């Protein structure tokens, strides 16, 4: 079967690497991909939201399955686009449809479903320009810190944690009166701050049946010891030691099962991967957010631990046979450390030549912001490469990745050396 994978990050290079281990894949195409995917598959030069080019490529290359890495194509309705086109209906698109992808595409939708299903989450209220004054009063009476969330997709920047009422009032006004996040911020969710330890749990579902993938912990801040600005993710660990069996059972019974039931009751058919972003507080799970896709960099530690053929997992999602899957995972710990561009998450230079990555033998190197340029590979984004290693424990896995990180070179290379340290 010919497969088209959509996206260009470390998550997609990891998916590509895993898909190519399957006998079920004849030819893998990636759009737009990066230098890492170009080395193992065929990159196609169009955006993952360019549905017309995606359609043409599917017809030209006899694609039978489309795997969607990132949220934008899903929230924009790629699944519905394929279902409505008679020349594309035979192609399985792995991911939720537009309505189901609202779990990530609209924070207000996601909070409403959680409330309706009794899923533990932060208390909240939603405001628009129409009830702006009520929002001001709500914020003035809210305990600190106050969390403001742009309703729509804002490339990971739409969540603000405000430590004073003045800051919250300013930001709230910027979002609703001055379009701080454009259309994404015309509705704002104001919610309670959850104080605990963050982790993610991943679910594979055909809408009715589900299976859990391992938990993972992502390190979001640019600086050591979780300081400085938020990034797309500086590293990840899987499994998460504190997410023991008892905790995961609570996640299933209090979050996953009620959510899938609630979606079905609302006539919403959620198929694909579901990312459950959680805060653990006193051993109990609270949902921070749902995402309609796998995480990045969590994929770089979760997929390498999966022993099953990933294409059979995709087929189970498409054929409603997820209940029959028997997923198996490597018991060892996987750690990934992201190498980023100097200056990231602020301004950074692109086009810097990267060397040394081909000499790494003890770890997996997944490309993210990289591009092939004549005979060399150059930086092409903030997050450049994720180095994943296995170990008997977190320390062993992280040390291997840090060792490999020293061997890869480009001007301005930066990475955190404390990934997983808090868990040891
Ligand atoms: P998001 O963009 O939705 O992934 O949120 C970004 C980050 O903000 C999350 O990963 C959390 O670290 C943090 N966050 C979001 N909501 C809350 C909350 N209610 N309480 C505490 N932290 C939060
Ligand atoms: N690692 C967080 C995300 O993928 O949204």
Is the Cβ atom of 296 under 6 angstroms away from ligand 2?
yes
Q: CATH number, domain at 71?
A: 3.40.50.20
Is the Cβ atom of 300 under 6 angstroms away from ligand 2?
no
Q: Ligand 1 mean position to 243 CA, how many Å?
A: 19
Task: Give the SS3 label for residue 372.
Answer: strand
In a domain, 140, yes or no: yes
Residues 32 and 160 in one domain: no
**Count: domains in the chain:** 3
Query: To test the ligand 2 pocket, which listed residue (7, 218, 226, 290) has its Cβ within 8 A of the most ligand atoms?
Result: 218
Atom of ligand 2 nearest to the CA of 296: 4
In a domain, 350, yes or no: yes
Q: What is the pLDDT of residues 345-403, one digit of tens each?
A: 999 999 999 999 999 999 999 999 999 998 999 999 999 999 999 999 999 999 999 99
pLDDT of residue 56: 98
pLDDT of residue 362: 95
Helices (H), 102-204: 102-105, 107-117, 132-140, 165-177
Q: Ligand 1 mean position to 107 CA, how many Å?
A: 11
Is the Cβ atom of 193 under 6 angstroms away from ligand 1?
yes
Distance CA 184, CA 143 (A): 25
Residues 247 and 351 in one domain: yes
Element (H, E) at 148: strand 146-150
Residue nearest to atom 4 of ligand 2 (CA): 295
What ligand is nearest to the CA atom of residue 293?
2
Q: Ligand 2 mean position to 244 CA, how many Å?
A: 22
Phi, psi of 387, rounded to the nearest 5 degrees: -110, 115
The answer for residues whose C-beta is within 8 angstroms of residue 194's C-beta and 6 or more apart is: 122, 279, 281, 286, 288
In a domain, 285, yes or no: yes
Residues 185 and 201 in one domain: no
Domain residues for 286? 197-423
Distance CA 384, CA 13 (A): 12
Query: Cα separations (Å) of 416 from 7, 137, 227, 294, 383?
Result: 25, 41, 11, 22, 12
Distance CA 288, CA 103 (A): 12
What ligand is nearest to the CA atom of residue 110?
1
Residues 244 and 293 in one domain: yes
In a domain, 102, yes or no: no
Residues 173 and 225 in one domain: no
Residues 180 and 245 in one domain: no
Pairing of strands 2-7, 28-32: parallel
In a domain, 111, yes or no: no
Q: Ligand 2 mean position to 293 CA, how many Å?
A: 9
Distance CA 44, CA 168 (A): 43
Residues 181 and 227 in one domain: no
Q: CATH number, domain at 135?
A: 3.30.1490.20
pLDDT of residue 182: 81
The tokens of 360 are what?
A: 């790494």
Q: Ligand 1 mean position to 146 CA, how many Å?
A: 11
In a domain, 93, yes or no: no
Is the separation of the CB atoms in 113 and 263 below 8 Å? Answer: yes
In a domain, 91, yes or no: no
Residues 178 and 296 in one domain: no
Is the separation of the CB atoms in 414 and 384 below 8 Å? Answer: no
With a threshold of 0.75, does the pTM exceed it?
yes
pLDDT of residue 387: 98
pLDDT of residue 186: 85
Is the separation of the CB atoms in 211 and 329 below 8 Å? Answer: no
Residues 69 and 185 in one domain: no
Residues 389 and 329 in one domain: yes
- CB hemisphere CA count around 255 (13 angstroms): 29
Q: What is the pLDDT of residues 170-214, one digit of tens each?
A: 999 999 888 888 888 888 999 999 999 999 999 999 999 999 999
Query: End of a domain among 54, 85, 116?
Result: 85
Residues 186 and 228 in one domain: no
pLDDT band at residue 297 under the 50/70/90 scheme? very high
Query: End of a domain among 59, 85, 111?
Result: 85
Q: CATH number, domain at 231?
A: 3.30.470.20
What percent of the chain clears pLDDT 90, i.e. is strictly above it? 93
Query: To test the ligand 2 pocket, which listed residue (71, 158, 294, 296) has its Cβ within 8 A of the most ligand atoms?
Result: 296
Residues 230 and 367 in one domain: yes
The residue assigned the tokens 């198996």 is 328
Query: End of a domain among 144, 162, 192?
Result: 192
In a domain, 118, yes or no: no
Is the Cβ atom of 260 under 6 angstroms away from ligand 1?
no
Task: Give the SS3 label for residue 89.
Answer: coil
Atom of ligand 2 nearest to the CA of 220: 1
Atom of ligand 2 nearest to the CA of 11: 4
What percent of the chain clears pLDDT 70, i.e. is strictly above it? 100
Is the Cβ atom of 298 under 6 angstroms away from ligand 2?
yes
Q: What is the pLDDT of residues 93-118, one digit of tens each?
A: 999 999 999 999 999 999 999 999 99
Task: For the chain, give the mean pLDDT.
Answer: 96
């Amino acid at each position: 079967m010919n497969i088209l994978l959509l996206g260009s990050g470390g998550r997609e290079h990891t998916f590509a690497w895993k898909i190519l281990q399957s006998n079920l894949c004849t030819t893998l195409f990636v759009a737009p991909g990066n230098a890492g995917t170009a080395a193992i598959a065929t990159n196609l030069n169009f955006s993952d939201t360019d549905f017309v080019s995606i359609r043409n490529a599917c017809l030209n290359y006899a694609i039978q399955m489309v795997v969607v890495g990132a949220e934008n194509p899903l929230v924009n309705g790629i699944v519905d686009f394929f279902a409505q086109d008679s020349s594309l209906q035979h192609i399985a698109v792995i991911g939720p449809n537009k309505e189901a992808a609202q779990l990530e595409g609209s924070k207000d939708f996601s909070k409403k479903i959680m409330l309706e299903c009794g899923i533990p989450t932060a208390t909240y209220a939603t405001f628009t320009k129409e009830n702006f004054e009520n929002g001001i009063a709500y914020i003035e009476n809210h305990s600190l810190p106050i969390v403001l969330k742009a309703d729509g997709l804002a490339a990971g920047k739409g969540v603000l944690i405000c430590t004073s009422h003045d800051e919250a009032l300013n930001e709230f006004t910027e979002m609703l009166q001055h379009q701080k996040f454009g259309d994404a911020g015309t509705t704002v969710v104001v919610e309670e701050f959850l104080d605990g330890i963050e982790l993610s749990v991943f679910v594979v579902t055909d809408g009715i049946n589900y299976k859990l993938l391992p938990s993972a912990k992502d390190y979001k801040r640019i600086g050591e010891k979780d300081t400085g600005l938020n990034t797309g993710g500086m590293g990840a660990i899987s499994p998460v030691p504190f997410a023991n069996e008892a905790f995961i059972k609570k996640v299933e019974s209090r979050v996953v099962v009620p959510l899938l039931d609630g979606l079905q009751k609302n006539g919403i058919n959620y198929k694909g991967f579901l990312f459950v972003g959680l805060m653990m507080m006193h051993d109990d799970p609270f949902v921070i957010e749902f995402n309609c896709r796998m995480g990045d960099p969590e994929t770089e530690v979760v997929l390498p631990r999966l022993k099953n053929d990933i294409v059979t997992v995709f087929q189970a999602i498409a054929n409603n046979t997820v209940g029959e899957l028997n997923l198996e995972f490597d018991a060892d710990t996987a750690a990934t450390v992201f190498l980023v561009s100097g200056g990231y998450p602020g301004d950074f230079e692109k086009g810097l030549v990267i060397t040394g990555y081909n000499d790494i033998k003890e770890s997996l190197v997944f490309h993210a912001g990289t591009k092939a340029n004549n005979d060399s590979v150059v930086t092409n984004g903030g997050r450049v490469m994720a180095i994943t290693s296995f170990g008997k424990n977190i320390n062993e896995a992280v040390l291997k990745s840090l060792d490999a990180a020293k061997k890869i070179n480009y001007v301005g290379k930066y990475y955190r050396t404390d990934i997983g340290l808090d868990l040891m």
